Amino acid sequence: MRRSHLVLNIALIVSVVVLGAVSANRYLIHHTDPDGSSIPSRLMPGVRLDLKDVDWSKNHRTLVLALSNNCHFCSESAGFYQKLLKEINSSPELHAMAIFSEPLTAAQRYLTDVKVSVDDVRQAPLVKLGLDGTPTLLLIDDAGKITQLWFGRLSPYQEDQVISQVRAVLAGKIVTPGSDETNNEIGVDEVKSKIKSGQKLTILDVRTREEYARSHEEWSKNIPSDEIEVRAPNELSLDDFIVTSCRCSNASRSMLARDILVAHGFKKVAVLREP
Amino acid sequence: MMKRYYGEKLRRLCLVLGVLFTVSTSLALGQRTVARISEGSLRKIAVKTVMPEYPPDSVRRQSKGVAVAELIFDEAGVVSQVEILEAPDSLIEKATTEAVRQWTFKPTRMRDEHGPPIRVQGKLTFYFVINDQGQARVENPKQFN
């Protein structure tokens, strides 16, 4: 009898340990993107890149390439980086920096191997900075805030976008999230009067389909916030006046949607002031 | 007498906990990890892609617009679940489901090549377009052309 109790007690202890391990494993890895090309929750336009010992104010904009020696997407993108850095060509307006998790000597050797030449190379804890995947390209303003960012290996369309953004910076024409042109809030009455006066305006409701189906404005268009990056460039015109709405108290999803739209070249974007 | 009574109670308690452990462990192991990735990432690891066919009845009815499919592929890279989140009509919904079911992906592991194989969830977007001349075609989002 005692022996069976002992066995049962051991089984109980083992079961608790195994169950704990399975649960921990599940919750630790649930939201991770295997190739790191989705947007990490901490990094988005408007957020400051917390890189130690970097004085962002020295340059109007800084282009940061977050790379890794072992990342095959980084090596495959080397040709694009060469082309991109040629555009910058030691401009005082735009500073090019590469950051690696690996030691500096290994990073510099890697850059030499792939023939990518930048103004500055730094070692930084990428994961701690919110950079869960490489390669990631970031455009940083003189206050250290991210104005645009691109994840993973880019398609030819996205590469053209990056180059046109860099050219815009060099020409001093860039529109950034938080600037006067894109930081507008707009009230419902103002929206209605603009529509009545015939102005072309799109109310972009960024809630989930279920939330949208429950109730929505008659003249609005629904693109859930996680689909904006793919669908907006295909379904909205860059020249339209777009008002983002989420019917949420702090307008967080509307503001995130606005920042994604601005990052994709939409110039007239405002957030609907929720009543 | 008392000792025997408590001994019996303890034995029953251990048996109940043992059964609970077996059931909960089976459930926990059954719910395998699913990683959610962006459409860009999903398309990058696609091995076989199949475009949906535009159903002739949908063309005749001038039914057009966006179709968004959500899929899960298993540890071998085979699509195991497809749900159409949005489609212009039920025929397009069916055509999109049939096409997406044929996609295959590079099996994906967590963290690196030594990590455990995982299931992956993501969305695919297709545009069903009819131009002014009445010609119908199905397109990928322009970023992925």
- CA dihedral (B129, B135, B136, B141) in degrees, to 10, reads -40
Higher pLDDT, A172 or A207: A207
Give the Cα separation of A164 and A170 in Å (integer): 10
B141 CB neighbours in chain A (<8 A) are: 230-231, 233-234
**Predicted confidence band at A179 (pLDDT cuts at 50, 70, 90)?**
very low
* Beta-strand pair A94-100/A146-151: unpaired
B15 CB neighbours in chain A (<8 A) are: 8
Phi, psi of B124, deg, nearest 5: -125, 140
Left, alpha or beta for B111 (phi > 0: left; psi -120 to 50: alpha)? left
Q: What percent of chain A has pLDDT over 70?
A: 83
**Predicted confidence band at B29 (pLDDT cuts at 50, 70, 90)?**
low
| B38, B39, B93, B120: best to mutate for the A interface, most A CBs within 10 A | B38
pTM: 0.58
Q: Is B17 on the interface with A (CB under 8 A)?
A: yes
Identify whether the C-beta of residue A176 lies closer than 8 Å to the C-beta of residue A158: no
The class level of CATH for A181-273 reads alpha beta
Averaged pLDDT, B116-144: 94
**Predicted confidence band at A148 (pLDDT cuts at 50, 70, 90)?**
confident
Give the Cα separation of A57 and A103 in Å (integer): 26
Q: How far is B12 from chain A (nearest CA, A)?
A: 10
Q: Is 3.20.20.70 the CATH number for A56-170? A: no
Tell me which residues of chain B, numbers 105 to 134, contact chain A at a CB-CB cutoff of 8 Å.
108-111, 118, 120, 123, 125, 127
Q: Residues B78, A224, A159, A239: is their CA dihedral positive or negative?
A: positive
In this model, does residue A19 exceed pLDDT 90? no
Predicted interface score ipTM higher than 0.85: no
CA nearest to A230, candidates B68, B97, B89, B65: B68
Chain-wide mean pLDDT for chain A?
79
Give me the residue spans of the domains in chain A: 56-170, 181-273
The per-residue pLDDT for A25 is 54
| pLDDT tens digit sequence for A246-273 | 887 667 788 878 878 887 888 889 888 8
CB contact under 8 A, B110 and A8: no
Instruction: Say yes or no: do domains A56-170 and A181-273 share a fold.
Output: no
